[in-house]
Chains A and B, each alone.
Chain A
Amino acid sequence: MSSRDSILATVKKNQPEAKPLPVIENFIPFAGDNISKFREVLTAIGGDAVDANSIEDVVKHLQTNFPMQSVSLLYRIYFTAMRCTITQPANRINWKM
């Protein structure tokens, strides 16, 4: 018996009694401004939020702040961003690259 099979057999043998999935009714989505809340929490834990309106803004920020190591990183970020759809709330921007 491979280790995989023996693990699966043990898991199957040791199953607890099945219970129905709970329904979580009081899970209320956050009602405030997501971005300002995120910024507030990020700052509180020592992070820094930077506004960017385009991928060029991101690149520019990195070039200014991380000039020494940014060449390869920029290439990769640009490359990844070209493949992604980054969606933000309506009052911000909606990139589709």
Chain B
Amino acid sequence: MNTLKQQGIDVIDSDLGERIVQMADEPPSHIVLPCIHWKKEEIGELFHKHLGTPEGNADPQFLTNAARIHLREKFLTRRVALTGVNFAIAETGEFVVCTNEGNADMGAHLADVHIACMGIEKIIPKRKQLGVFLRLLARSATGQPVTTYSSHFRKPRKGTELHVVIVDNGRSRQLGRADFRNSLKCIRCAACFNTCPVYRRSGGHSYHTAIAGPIGSILAPNLDMKQYADLPFASTLCGSCSNVCPVKIDIHEQLYKWRQVLVQEGHAPTSKKVAMKGMTTVLSNPSVYRLSGAVGRWFIKNIPFVVNNKLNPWFKQREMPEAPKESFRDWYKKNKISKK
């Protein structure tokens, strides 16, 4: 989209959520619910500024109608429609676009030219398998039995054009990575986003990539290891993403494997490497572990400013804990009931 904009082409998102974040000049924060991070009052304010709706009106129904009127004018006057592709069927040569708002249909049916962009992994063998995917997608994305609109395109209407752009963008390379190729099964339902304890706290923008969430964290390093080296580390590896994935991608295992690849390829920052090596020494030597515990407790108790300062990233927005009087080990030794 940015490339088209640079060429002086006006690009208008027609999905309501996408349109909202586009008006606000920010990227979407979720692949199914792009403006999940916005409050209705904020949207009311945004629409007041851009669409001239009355100030202070934050009624979702009213705002949706305002957007509908605004978008209808675009649908009726623009001559080219760009859509994505949810599934393409090898057997018939058709492709399917799923929406709940009908915006793909309005765009594609009213424009003279329909350009559909699809990743190379969207192809399924036969039409009889489509129903399985349509139901998996809607159920895992929004809990619906099927999307409101599942539109099939096979050829252009008379007098119009239909172009399909098949996008690789690193997918063929990912296909060659045996540990990571499973990520190409993704149908973009965002179930892994919704369950992820990290995504739910931090939101989509913290991932600094178009596809956020757990799946984004295993897709992005394939595009640029250096730029996205932080993402696979921002996980608790709890595995909730893998549990909910309808196409059974081993997401948390791939996060773990990406960490190893990224370190081997030299994309781990020195501070992290040093800290990890230090942790290894501490955690693998009981005497060093005990000594570090005692030193830590002593510092927190007697000269707390050593840890309670801006140089300690853990101190930002947090209070450091109070030091316990003794370690669990010391307590246990004292209180253990002897068997004798």
The interface bits of chain B over 89-104 (1 if a CB of A lies within 8 angstroms of the residue's CB, else 0) are 0000000000010000
Q: Quick check: B148 and A69 within 8 Å, CB to CB?
A: no
Q: Which residues of A contact B129 (CB under 8 A)?
A: 21, 24
Q: Which residues of B contact A13 (CB under 8 A)?
A: 176
Tell me which of B51-59, B167-175, B251-259 binds A. B167-175
Q: Which residues of A contact B109 (CB under 8 A)?
A: 76, 80
CB-nearest residue of chain B relative to A8? B172
Q: Quick check: A47 and B148 within 8 Å, CB to CB?
A: yes
The interface bits of chain B over 118-153 (1 if a CB of A lies within 8 angstroms of the residue's CB, else 0) are 001000010001011000000000101100100000
Contact of A30 among B100, B145, B148 (CB under 8 A): B145
Is B110 located at the chain interface by the 8 A CB criterion? yes
Q: Quick check: B131 and A27 within 8 Å, CB to CB?
A: yes
Q: A41-B145, A47-B148, A80-B109 are in contact. Are A7 and B72 (CB under 8 A)?
A: no
Q: What's the Cα separation between A72 and B76 when bound, in Å?
A: 7
Q: Quick check: A37 and B145 within 8 Å, CB to CB?
A: yes
Is B227 located at the chain interface by the 8 A CB criterion? no
> How many A residues touch the partner, as a band?
20 to 34
Is A93 located at the chain interface by the 8 A CB criterion? no
Question: Which residues of A in the span 35-83 have a Cβ within 8 Å of any Cβ on B?
Answer: 37, 41-42, 45-47, 66, 68-69, 72-73, 76, 80, 83
The 5 A-B pairs at the shortest CB distance, nearest first, are namely A14-B176, A10-B172, A14-B175, A7-B168, A11-B172
Chain B interface residues (CB < 8 Å from chain A):
60-61, 64, 69, 72-73, 76, 100, 109-110, 120, 125, 129, 131-132, 142, 144-145, 148, 157, 168, 172-173, 175-176, 178, 181
